[in-house]
């Protein structure tokens, strides 16, 4: 069955790239990594930079090596915060040309309280090296719930009606240059995918005593 992909971002002009912000540990004086998002020679978005795992000798930072690109918050009139509504979709589609590294896809949702502002859903994108493009179709149900980079014991479904940001991060602990070329990021509805959330939670006794 032929499914239509609705594009969120098509990285073919600078105005689209301007909707994203790049950050690295060096921006916060927490490392030495650098990154940038610009138009590639092929006329597509190129997220590239250098991952540096050296730890600053300040006695405060324990690990380093992080670069990311993230969409800016969309706004309504008078600069009021708005959100994306992805409830009609169940699959994320990316056309990328990678370097063999793994990248982390991140989706943020609006929470009711400030304690949830660091909650992010993650999925690891594995890329192939070489000259060929790849199309990755990822069920949204496979994104795992985390907070401040740590997976949570209590997994919950994503609020697809309250998506605030989408981002891609490089932090695979391999120092050196990285290059991820992106043609587009979109969404699909796959009628054959009926799973709502991949990570079931089971209730257990409060106190478990081994026999």
pLDDT band at 110, cuts 50/70/90?
Answer: confident
Give the pLDDT confidence score for residue 177 in this predicted structure: 97
Residue 211 has pLDDT above 70, yes or no: no
> What DSSP string runs through 153-211?
SS-----TTSEEEEEEEE-SS--EEEEEEEEEEEEE--TT---S-S-------SS----
Give the pLDDT confidence score for residue 203 in this predicted structure: 65
Residue 156 has pLDDT above 90, yes or no: no
Is the whole model's pTM more than 0.85, yes or no? yes
List the chain domain ranges: 6-188
Q: What integer best gives the mean pLDDT of the chain?
A: 90
pLDDT band at 124, cuts 50/70/90?
Answer: very high
Give the pLDDT confidence score for residue 209 in this predicted structure: 57
The CATH code of domain 6-188 reads 2.60.120.430
Give the pLDDT confidence score for residue 202 in this predicted structure: 62
CA distance linking residue 121 with residue 106, whole number of Å: 6
Give the pLDDT confidence score for residue 165 in this predicted structure: 95
Give the pLDDT confidence score for residue 154 in this predicted structure: 81
Cβ pair 44, 182 in contact under 8 A? yes
Give the pLDDT confidence score for residue 12 in this predicted structure: 96
CA distance linking residue 33 with residue 67, whole number of Å: 7
User: For 184-195, what is each residue's pLDDT tens digit?
Assistant: 999 999 999 999
């Amino acid at each position: 069955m032929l499914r239509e992909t609705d594009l969120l971002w098509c990285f073919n002009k600078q105005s689209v790239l301007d909707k994203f912000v790049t950050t690295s540990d060096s921006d916060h004086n927490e490392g030495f990594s650098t990154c940038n998002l610009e138009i590639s020679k092929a006329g597509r978005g190129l997220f590239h930079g250098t991952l540096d795992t050296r730890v600053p000798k300040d006695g405060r930072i324990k690990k380093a090596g992080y670069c990311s690109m993230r969409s800016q918050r969309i706004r309504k009139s008078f600069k009021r915060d708005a959100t994306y509504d992805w409830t009609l979709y169940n699959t994320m589609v990316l056309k990328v040309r990678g370097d063999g590294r793994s990248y982390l896809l991140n989706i943020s949702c609006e929470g009711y309280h400030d304690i949830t502002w660091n909650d992010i859903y993650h999925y690891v994108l594995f890329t192939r090296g070489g000259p060929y493009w790849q199309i990755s179709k990822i069920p949204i149900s496979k994104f795992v719930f985390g907070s401040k980079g740590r997976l949570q014991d209590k997994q919950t479904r994503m609020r697809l009606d309250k998506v605030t940001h989408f981002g891609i991060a490089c932090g695979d602990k391999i120092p050196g240059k990285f290059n991820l070329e992106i043609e587009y990021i979109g969404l699909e509805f796959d009628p054959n995918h009926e799973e709502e959330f991949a990570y079931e939670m089971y209730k257990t006794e409060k106190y478990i005593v081994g026999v």
